């Protein structure tokens, strides 16, 4: 396993980190399976585990807490807040009121007195940066979090938050967690350069593109990835963007085969090759999935292989831009781009 420094924190983390979104109802992973996955991940050199209060309505955090009981100090523990927790209007977002409450809930479910990294799951346009940063700074001073970061922020919001931290003399985000894969390379155009500019640690989610790069999606085969169960539109090959992804996957499979690599090794080796990336978050549902992903832990792709990937999916290109989660609100809500 390779280890890298998480931004400017000085914390050493594994190049592959364990994402726990599949623990619980999303991946239908049981507690015994989750514990086995955590056991094998730690044995394989993984030392960062990432979850969120939103995953399974808190069930993922509960399962992670049980799995790491008795070995808290062996884990760099990260969680997130901001996405809805139930139907109550105020149980979401980046306000001080909600973040203080949300963190207490996360600590209780995880069975710990602090988390190492607390991340804002999505930018909240209803809350000023200084409001969120002030709350996070106070939570850090109280010893309940060690560092805080952002997740899936557009590049301009990362810059704005860094400016607000300096302007108001507050703590700043130490990390960013963007979506990034061979098939979704838009982060290379803006987010990753901004993260490098500000010295942020970068934890990449969905490096296997929801299973498209795991070997589970191939021409002429039935789709077997779990994500197709609740996101069928993303695997409907009659959709033009999905046809483009499938064509790219077939060509990438050829590159992987010629290099003596699995598709998973190619995909994870690609994202961890970017100098801005600290860790790639893997989200196995079973111990078998974990083993196939840990096989990429020490993969270093040659320049020829990276060039071949660039020839299939151009740098900075998203093959399915409609699937991104950092679209500015004004592009989604017509009322925000029309004068009243």
Exactly one of 3, 55, 156, 180 is catalytic; name it: 55
Inter-CA distances, 299 with 67, 265, 295, 331, Å: 28, 7, 8, 39
Q: Beta-strand (E) ranges in the chain?
A: 3-5, 12-14, 16-19, 48-50, 76-81, 115-120, 145-151, 175-177, 201-204, 279-282
Question: Six-digit token pair at 224?
Answer: 């077997």
Q: How far apart are CA 30 and CA 35, in angstroms?
A: 9
The yes-or-no answer on residue 55 being catalytic is yes
Q: Beta-strand (E) ranges in 131-247?
A: 145-151, 175-177, 201-204
Cβ count within 10 A of residue 168: 14
Q: Is 114 exposed, middle or buried (CB count within 10 Å of its CB: 0-12, 13-18, 19+)?
A: middle
> Contact, 18 vs 207, CB < 8 A?
no
Residues marked active site are found at 55
């Amino acid at each position: 396993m390779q280890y890298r420094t998480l931004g400017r924190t000085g914390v050493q983390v594994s190049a592959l980190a364990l994402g726990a979104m599949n623990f619980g109802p999303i991946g239908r992973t049981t507690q015994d399976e989750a514990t086995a996955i955590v056991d094998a991940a730690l044995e394989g050199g993984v030392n960062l585990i990432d979850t969120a209060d939103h995953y399974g309505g808190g069930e993922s955090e509960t399962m992670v807490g049980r799995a790491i009981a008795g070995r808290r100090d062996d884990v760099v523990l990260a969680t997130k807040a901001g996405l809805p927790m139930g139907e109550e209007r105020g149980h979401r977002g980046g306000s001080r009121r909600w973040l203080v409450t949300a963190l207490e809930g996360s600590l209780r479910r995880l069975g710990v007195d602090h988390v190492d990294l607390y991340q804002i799951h999505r930018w909240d346009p209803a809350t000023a940066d200084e409001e969120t940063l002030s709350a996070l700074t106070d939570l850090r001073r109280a010893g309940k979090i060690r560092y805080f970061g952002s997740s899936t922020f557009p590049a301009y919001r990362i810059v704005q938050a860094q400016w607000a931290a300096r302007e108001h003399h507050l703590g700043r985000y130490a990390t960013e967690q963007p979506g990034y894969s061979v098939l979704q390379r838009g982060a290379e155009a803006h987010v990753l350069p901004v993260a490098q500019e500000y010295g942020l640690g970068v934890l990449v989610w969905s490096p296997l593109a929801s299973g498209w790069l795991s070997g589970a999606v191939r021409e002429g085969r039935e789709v077997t990835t779990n994500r197709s169960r609740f996101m069928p539109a993303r695997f409907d090959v009659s959709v033009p963007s999905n046809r483009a992804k499938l064509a790219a996957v077939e060509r990438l499979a050829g590159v992987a085969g010629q290099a003596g690599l699995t598709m998973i090794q190619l995909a994870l080796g690609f994202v961890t090759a970017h100098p801005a990336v600290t860790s790639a978050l893997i989200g196995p549902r079973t111990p078998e999935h974990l083993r196939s992903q840990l096989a990429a832990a020490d993969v270093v792709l040659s320049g020829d292989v990276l060039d071949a990937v660039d020839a299939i999916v151009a740098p900075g290109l998203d093959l399915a831009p409609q699937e991104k989660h950092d679209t500015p609100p004004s592009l989604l809500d017509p009322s925000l781009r029309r004068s009243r």
